[in-house]
Amino acid sequence: MRRRDAPELDAMVIQLRANVNGQQPIAGFLGESDSLRKAAGRKHIVLDMRMNGGGNLQLTRDWMQSIVAKLPADGRVVVLTSPSTFSAAISSVGYLKQAGGDRVTLVGEAPGDRLNFFAEGSPAALPHSGAMFLVAKERHDYQGGCKAYTDCHRPVVAYPIAVASLDPAVPAPWTAAAYQAGRDPGMEAVARVLGHP
């Protein structure tokens, strides 16, 4: 977890690399980040979820569902996603997009999984090789809110997500050429979305 004030974007930039509690609980970090945004007089939030492999979706759900309402009327949340955005990170982006609608803009590349996927399991060992693998047993349906299924993850049943898509509205793939040139196409696209090219 890290953040920075970005006056050039009129935003607070927040990066979550996992949905887990670290030295500071993630909910406290997110709440403090918004307090710092307000104190700095920033309108927007940029949420970088590009390298977030997941964790516990319940740790960020409340913040994701409520943050847009705490912004000024012309404030936006711009979310960066990539093929390395997985599991609870996808859930978090889904809660945010569902709650924020048009005030939430997705930028970057599509998340690493579909809107209907399986997770939540236990490791198992193959009997002859001993190789370990994860048996995923619970469905996450983020298009239909798990209404059509009986095998969904309980927290998602209690707090459903139903969004049409989590594909980026503004594609900005991170290429090897951009990396070698020291450029971040995602943040460049964020600047354009927020009107600060």
- Which pLDDT value is given to residue 151? 95
Q: What is the pairing mode between strands 44-48 and 11-15?
A: parallel
Residue 57 burial by Cβ neighbours in a 10 Å radius (0-12, 13-18, 19+) = buried
Residue 134: predicted pLDDT: 85
**Regarding beta strands 116-125 and 132-141, do their DSSP bridges make them parallel or antiparallel, or are they unpaired?**
antiparallel
- Name the token pair of 172: 């900005």
Rounded CA-CA distance 133/24 in Å is 31
pLDDT of amino acid 196 = 84
Q: Where are the domains of the chain?
A: 2-115+165-193, 116-162
Angle formed by the axes of helices 61-70 and 88-100, nearest 10°: 30
**Rounded average pLDDT per 10-residue block, the chain, 197 residues:** 98 98 95 98 99 96 98 98 97 98 98 93 91 91 94 95 97 95 98 92
Q: How far apart are CA 88 and CA 105, in angstroms?
A: 19
Q: What is the pLDDT of residue 35?
A: 98
pLDDT of residue 77: 99
Q: Does the pTM exceed 0.85?
A: yes
| Chosen CATH of 2-115+165-193 out of 3.90.226.10, 2.40.30.10, 3.10.180.10, 2.60.120.560 | 3.90.226.10
List of E strands, 7-160: 11-15, 44-48, 77-81, 104-108, 116-125, 132-141
